[in-house]
């Protein structure tokens, strides 16, 4: 960010108007901004506003095929349309720059309907006149604690990897926690000048149950007296380099070792600053700052533990300006909590804790729109990400004061909920590998995504041949995504746990940022048209087989169809060099049985039993995959008497089939196949949006409508297809019903890691322990 390089060298005590604030990078989309909120603390200002963003979406519309011969006509047309997206912007900067920022907002603010700015924080009164003068908005002050809780609830509900445990010296400093589906109750320890301890029981029910006057202000004040250092961040910098043992009296300093009968080890602090009373020497600023930090953190930690036990709470979140992502603070609090609870309670920190007040103030101002009725998602393209917390590793960033610079949240079209069939939603982890903790895998996948970038840029430009400026936008996309990959190489924890899914999602966000909503649209259209021509022939050849031969041919066809994945470089290289590569060639590429993971025999045995009531099928790619792989498989399930729900992406990602495209494909297949036609007519085959726009699958964030259908249909079989949905995610997902997870490994590095080779097959059939007697101890049914 251009502003940051200047910020490091300037004094924060003066308001420097020469700072350049690039509008596209910081105050984005101000021309459509409305509903402002501001949270002004002792040293940082956090600004929030709501904007509407115009962006392109790819729409498909079916052609009328009744009027003429349609053999060579495309199945549907693709058009680019403008849509309005609701976005929340949150920006953090030092108070020293507040006047510069207000001037910038005033100069770029177009929307004059906004009359009020919601304000919270101790500095709101101090800067009230300045804000009203500059922005011509009335400052409406909101209760600080109410805003804090509202903001905390919002981030916990909408950002899956919001909370983390801090582990010093680990490969990954941050261990992100999956948010429990029910976020309540919890304890929030807000460490500002003092300490407030708040018990939160529901959206609007909270109580300050305790607190302390010994908090961040105490550390700052005493630290300034002891070290003559006036800046809070500099004080923490000193503490990070200090040795508290030269100032503190330890147990071993009194007893010569541990105090075994009381269970006290020799290294425990017996008396903070204890040595300073008797030692005849000067103590370094660093050592005094470290001792002071330990003293206050330990005091807060013990207090938090006592209140957690008193109220029987295990979820304890820490926030406030005292934390601000500083490693030495998080480590001392973590150590204290762990010591006093003997590991029963974890200290949890929040990625966006610096924004809680301004988020809450914004929500208070937007209550008439009821933002909590929607689901929101972090826009990685416009968010800064969590910074490196090591002052030694990255002093430039540490000087940026705080955890974040920018956060953007997009309102999602669908309300997202858990899949009702998750065995234990609170322990569900979508991703198979956390790249934050696996350096070898991280380096490989980052390299992979960098290598694939040229191909993505090329396809993005090719998807918009009539727009001459597409090449320029594609280069901007390249630059932005490459920058994100470089950031993640140094700060893998920037957006929560780093996974293949988050790398893919970040790419999709960056593509959308530069108006490339569906780079694979024309490829999908061509492959869908081609595959449809072979559908009837494929079904006819399957019907000529015996029942047992047909079951294997259906599974093999589904796996062969899954080879056609433009997201896998090994495949896209083949498809680009050999356009004639088809279904039969793909079948020949598959490994022979026994497969890498092979539960086919158990699946075949299950098929000899009674039919499933309803199967939920999460589909993958367009073209051969959906038409020649999935539909014949689905057709067989329907013939068995099983209802089927096909769940597809709500919006584009790679060459995955979207719900709109699937509606058109199903209509066309129904026109040529009586089984599919009658199933659609009788509502035994249903198409539902998944709520996702990712090549992977998070079963804790699915369309609420889909969850309702799953319950109503008494779904007892879940089928997950493809590398993204069944390998990179959900490989270990435990469901409360039977499940099939199928994929072809189209990446040689991953295949090698799993003990296989390119085009190895994973075919997992899983039955929950409590269902085994009902699914396996059946009376065999004679198949037709």
Average pLDDT over residues 654-672: 96
As a whole number of angstroms, the distance between CA 506 and CA 653 comes to: 11
pLDDT of residue 755: 94
**Residue 71 pLDDT > 70:** no
Residue 270: pLDDT over 90: yes
pLDDT in tens, 605-652: 999 999 999 999 999 999 999 999 999 999 999 999 999 999 999 999
Q: What number is the average pLDDT over the span 50-60?
A: 84
pLDDT of residue 109: 74
pLDDT digits (tens, 9 = 90+) for 205-229: 999 999 999 999 999 999 999 999 9
Q: Is 200 left (phi over 0), alpha (psi -120 to 50) or beta?
A: beta
The per-residue pLDDT for 80 is 78
**Cβ–Cβ < 8 Å for 195, 303:** yes
Equal CATH topology for 163-247+283-350 and 544-771: no
The pLDDT of residue 328 is 84
For 472-479, which contacts have Cβ atoms below 8 Å and span 24 or more sequence positions? 473/514, 473/515, 473/516, 474/514, 474/516, 476/514, 477/510, 477/511, 477/513, 477/514, 477/516, 478/453
Average pLDDT on 224-237 reads: 91
Answer with the residue of higher pLDDT: 303 or 368.
Answer: 303
Does the structure show a pLDDT above 50 at 391? no
Cis check: omega of the bond before 757, within 30 degrees of 0: no
| pLDDT tens readout for residues 572-614 | 776 677 766 678 888 888 999 999 999 999 999 999 999 999 9
Q: How does pLDDT run across 529-538, given as a tens digit for each residue? A: 999 999 999 9
Cα angle 391, 393, 394; round to 5 = 70
Give the model's confidence band at 570: pLDDT under 50 very low, under 70 low, under 90 confident, else very high: low
- Please state the rounded mean pLDDT for residues 507-518: 95
Evaluate the omega torsion of the peptide bond into residue 594 and state whether it is cis, within 30 degrees of 0: yes
Q: Considering the domain 420-514, what is its CATH architecture?
A: Up-down Bundle (1.20)
Across all residues in the chain, what is the average pLDDT? 88
Average pLDDT estimate for 106-123? 82
Say whether pLDDT at 112 is over 80: no
Looking at residue 381, its pLDDT comes to 94
What's the pLDDT band for 775 if we cut at 50, 70, 90? low
- Tell me what the mean pLDDT of segment 395-407 comes to: 48
> Which homologous superfamily is 163-247+283-350 in?
ATPase, nucleotide binding domain (3.30.420.40)
Q: Could you tell me the CA-to-CA distances from 100 to 133, 406, 407 in Å, in that order?
A: 13, 17, 20
Q: Which percentage of the chain shows pLDDT scores above 70?
A: 90
- pLDDT-based confidence at residue 170 (cuts at 50, 70, 90): confident
DSSP letter for each residue of 46-105: EEEEEEEEEEEEEEEEE---SSS--TTS-SEEEEEEEEEEEEEEEEEEEGGGHHHHHHHH
Per-residue pLDDT for 443 more than 60? Answer: yes
Domain 544-771 listed as CATH 3.40.50.10880: yes
Q: Does residue 757 have a pLDDT over 80? A: yes
pLDDT at position 67, please?
45
- Say yes or no to pLDDT of 115 above 70: yes
779 or 577: which carries more pLDDT confidence? 577
Question: CA angle, corner 573, sides to 572 and 579, nearest 5?
Answer: 80
Mean pLDDT, range 449-478, rounded to an integer: 95
Contacts of 559 (CB under 8 A, 6+ apart): 590, 629, 742, 743, 744, 761, 763
Confidence at residue 773, expressed as pLDDT on a 0 to 100 scale:
58
| Element (DSSP H or E) covering residue 120 | strand 116-120
State yes or no: pLDDT of 660 exceeds 70. yes
Q: Are 734 and 700 in contact (CB under 8 A)?
A: no
Coil, strand or helix at 513: helix
Instruction: Tell me the pTM.
Output: 0.90
pLDDT tier at 384, thresholds 50, 70, 90: confident
> Which whole number is the average pLDDT over 54-78?
70
Domain coordinates of the chain in residue numbers? 23-143+358-390+398-411, 163-247+283-350, 420-514, 544-771
């Amino acid at each position: 960010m251009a502003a940051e390089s200047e910020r490091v060298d300037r004094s924060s005590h003066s308001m420097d108007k020469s700072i350049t604030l690039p509008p596209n990078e910081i105050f984005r989309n101000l021309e459509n901004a409305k509903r402002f909120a501001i949270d002004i603390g002792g040293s940082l200002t956090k600004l929030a506003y709501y904007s509407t963003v115009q962006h392109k979406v790819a729409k498909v519309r079916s052609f009328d095929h009744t009027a003429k011969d349609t053999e060579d006509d495309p199945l549907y047309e693709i058009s680019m349309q403008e849509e309005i997206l609701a976005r929340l912007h949150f920006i953090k900067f030092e108070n020293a720059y507040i006047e510069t920022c207000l001037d910038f907002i005033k100069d770029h603010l177009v929307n004059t309907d906004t009359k009020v700015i919601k304000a919270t924080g101790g500095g709101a009164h101090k800067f009230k006149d300045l804000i009203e003068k500059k922005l011509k908005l009335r400052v409406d002050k909101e209760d600080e604690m109410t805003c804090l809780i509202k903001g905390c609830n919002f981030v916990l509900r909408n950002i899956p990897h919001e909370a983390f445990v801090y582990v010093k010296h680990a490969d990954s400093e941050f261990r992100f926690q999956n948010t429990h589906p029910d976020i309540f109750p919890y304890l929030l320890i807000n460490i500002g000048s003092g300490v407030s301890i708040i018990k939160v029981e529901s959206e609007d029910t909270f109580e300050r149950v305790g607190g302390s006057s010994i908090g961040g202000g105490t550390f700052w004040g005493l630290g300034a007296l002891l070290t003559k250092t006036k800046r809070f961040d500099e004080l923490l910098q000193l503490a990070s380099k200090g040795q508290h043992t030269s100032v503190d009296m330890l147990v071993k300093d009194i007893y010569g070792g541990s105090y075994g009968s009381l269970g006290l080890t020799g290294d425990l602090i017996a008396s903070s600053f204890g040595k300073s009373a008797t030692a005849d020497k000067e103590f370094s600023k660093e050592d005094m700052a470290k001792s002071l930090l330990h003293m206050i953190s330990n005091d807060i930690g013990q207090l938090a533990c006592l209140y957690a036990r008193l109220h029987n709470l295990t979820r304890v979140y820490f926030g406030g300006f005292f934390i601000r992502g500083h490693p030495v603070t998080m480590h001392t609090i973590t150590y204290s909590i762990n010591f006093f609870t003997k590991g029963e309670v974890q200290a949890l920190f929040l990625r966006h804790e610096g924004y809680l007040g301004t988020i809450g103030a914004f929500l208070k101002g937007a209550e008439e729109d009821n933002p909590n009725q929607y689901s929101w998602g972090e826009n990685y393209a416009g968010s800064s990400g969590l910074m490196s917390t090591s002052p030694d590793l990255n002093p430039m960033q540490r000087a940026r004061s705080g955890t974040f610079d920018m956060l953007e949240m997009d309102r999602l079209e669908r309300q997202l909920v858990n899949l009702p069939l998750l065995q234990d939603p609170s322990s569900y982890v979508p991703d198979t590998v956390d790249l934050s903790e696996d350096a070898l895998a991280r380096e490989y996948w980052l390299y992979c995504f960098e290598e694939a970038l040229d191909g993505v840029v090329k396809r993005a430009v090719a998807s918009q041949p009539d727009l001459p400026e597409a090449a320029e936008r594609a280069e901007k996309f390249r630059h932005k995504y490459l920058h994100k990959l470089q950031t993640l190489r140094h700060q893998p924890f920037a957006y929560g746990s780093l996974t293949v899914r988050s790398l893919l999602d970040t790419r999709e966000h960056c593509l959308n940022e530069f108006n490339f909503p569906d780079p694979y649209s024309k490829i999908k259209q061509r492959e869908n048209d081609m595959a449809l021509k072979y559908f009837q022939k494929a079904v006819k050849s399957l019907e000529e087989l015996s029942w047992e031969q047909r079951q294997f041919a259906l599974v093999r066809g589904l796996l062969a169809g899954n080879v056609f994945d433009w997201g896998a470089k090994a495949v896209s290289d083949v498809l680009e060099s050999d356009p004639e590569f088809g279904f039969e060639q793909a079948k020949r590429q598959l490994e022979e049985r026994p497969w890498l993971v092979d539960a086919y025999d158990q699946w075949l045995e299950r098929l000899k039993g009674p039919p499933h009531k309803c199967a939920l099928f999460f589909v993958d790619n367009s073209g051969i995959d959906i038409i020649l792989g999935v539909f014949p498989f689905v057709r067989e399930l329907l013939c068995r008497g099983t209802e089927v729900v096909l769940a597809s992406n709500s919006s584009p990602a790679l060459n995955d089939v979207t719900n709109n495209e699937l509606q058109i494909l199903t209509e066309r297949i129904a026109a040529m196949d009586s089984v599919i036609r009658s199933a659609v007519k009788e509502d035994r085959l249903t198409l539902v949006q998944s709520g996702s726009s990712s090549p992977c699958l998070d079963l804790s964030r699915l369309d609420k409508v889909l969850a309702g259908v799953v319950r109503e249909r008494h779904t007892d079989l879940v089928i997950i297809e493809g590398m993204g949905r069944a390998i990179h995610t959900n490989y270990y997902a435990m469901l409360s019903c039977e499940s099939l997870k199928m994929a072809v490994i189209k990446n040689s590095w991953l295949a090698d890691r799993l003990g296989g080779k390119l085009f190895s097959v994973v075919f997992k059939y899983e039955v929950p322990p409590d269902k085994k007697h009902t699914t396996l101890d059946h009376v065999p049914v004679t198949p037709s």
